[in-house]
Structure 1
Amino acid sequence: MHDAPSQKEMIAAVKAFIDDTAMPNLKGHAAFHARVASNVLATVLRELEIRPLAENDERERLSSLLNADQNMTISELNLKLCELLRQGELGLDTPGLLEHLKTTTIAQLSIDQPNYSGLPSD
């Protein structure tokens, strides 16, 4: 049985130390850098929590939108999407494209900027 702390637990512990112990005792530049470190760790935690499902959903949307091989990677699918957009074979009038772009952007913002005012509230 593997009982070591998970990546999430270890990152959360370091973030809690910075937030609760280190940051209250720091001033000036050191306090600023502690806040930056805390924000980076929060982003990593959201990456671990949100990214896998978001990428799976994105892959499914792209595969459907592009009628692509289910074995293509998300990078390959995005390259194909860009190519078709550049060639004018897809556009905002393409059914499902605008919804895909919005959904993908919202998923990314949920990781990078979860307090962004334009994000839908849960």
Structure 2
Amino acid sequence: MQDRPDIAELLEAVAAFLREQVVPATEGQVAFHARVAANTLDIVRREVQLGPVAQSNELARLHALLGPGAPSDLSEANRLLCARMAEGALDPATPGLLDHLRQTTRDKLAVDQPGYAAGTKKKED
């Protein structure tokens, strides 16, 4: 374990430097790429902060949906979920499936597009 600054703080500092120092001091393509780099660092920071818990929760939900023998690897479990949905073994009427898909989407949006994710709170369908 590292002392401060931690990974998230380092990423945040570099993103702030790009936004506050590089973008205003440049123009055109360099300024654009600095903004893109800062946004990329923000995504990486959120992935570091939110990703492990979200992935653990996703895998737990997948195990509940897929039952005994479900893969312990998240990618493999998702492939099995997709296969079962494609063959009709799981469908929107399957208890927990839609909730799982919604929560997984919210968790991914929280990393990639947090402003959008804030508007995706669970609503009555």
TM-score over 0.5 for the alignment?
Answer: yes
2:72: which partner in 1? 72
Deviations 1:56-96 (A, max 9, x none): 11011000111134761111211110111111111001000
- Indicate whether 1:23 and 2:15 are aligned: no
Aligned-pair identity (%): 43
Matches within 5 A, 1:23-62: 23-62=23-62
- 2:119 is matched with 118
- 1:63 lines up with 2:63 in the alignment: yes
Q: Deviations over 1:30-76 (max 9, x none)?
A: 11111111100010011011111100110110001111347611112
Whichever residue aligns with residue 45 of structure 2, its letter is: L
Residues 9 and 80 of structure 1, relative CA distance in 2, 3 Å threshold: same
What is the identity, as a one-letter code, of the residue corresponding to 1:50? L
Specify every segment of 5 or more residues in structure 1 that has no aligned partner in the other structure, as ranges.
Answer: none
- For structure 1, which segment, 112-121 or 42-51, has the greater mean C-alpha deviation from structure 2 after superposition? 112-121
Greater CA deviation, 65-74 or 26-35?
65-74
Q: 1:3 to 1:49 in 2, by over 3 A?
A: closer
Q: Gaps (5+ residues) in structure 2? A: none
Partners of 1:8 and 1:52 in 2: CA distance:
14
